[in-house]
Amino acid sequence: MYIAMNRFKVQTGSEADFEAVWKNRDSSLAEMKGFREFHLLRGPVNEAEGYTLFASHTVWASHDDFVAWTKSENFRAAHRNVGTTKVHYLGHPQFEGFSVVEGA
C-alpha cells in the first residue's frame, strides 16, 4: 500500500475557496487502477504566519499505481486549472509519499 499526501498552506481567508475547489472538481481518481481512497484534511491555523494547513491524502494499492496516476491524462485533467482559482497559497504544495510497513 502507498499513501500520497500534499500539504498546502492556504492563506487566511481563502479556506472556503480552497475547500470549494476540491469539493467541486471533476475527479476521476476512482477510475484509476489501484486507487483506494481520498481525504481532504484541514489542519491547524497558524495565526502568526497567516495560513491554515490542509493536506490531500490518497491511498493506493502500490507505489506503481500512484506513479501511473501522475503520468495519466486523468492527472493532467485534474490539474488543468491549477493557479486559476481565487485561492491564495503560501508557497508551493509539499509532497510526501509513504509505503506502508506491512506487519507493523
Full-model pTM: 0.86
Q: What confidence tens digit (pLDDT) does each residue in 49-87 have?
A: 999 999 999 999 999 999 999 999 888 887 776 666 678
| Strand arrangement, sheet containing 51-60 | 35-46, 51-60, 2-11, 94-99
User: Per this entry, what is the length of the chain?
Assistant: 104
- How does DSSP classify residue 30? G
Total Cβ atoms within 10 A of residue 58: 19
Residue with cell 498552506: 9
Query: So what's the pLDDT on residue 25?
Result: 79
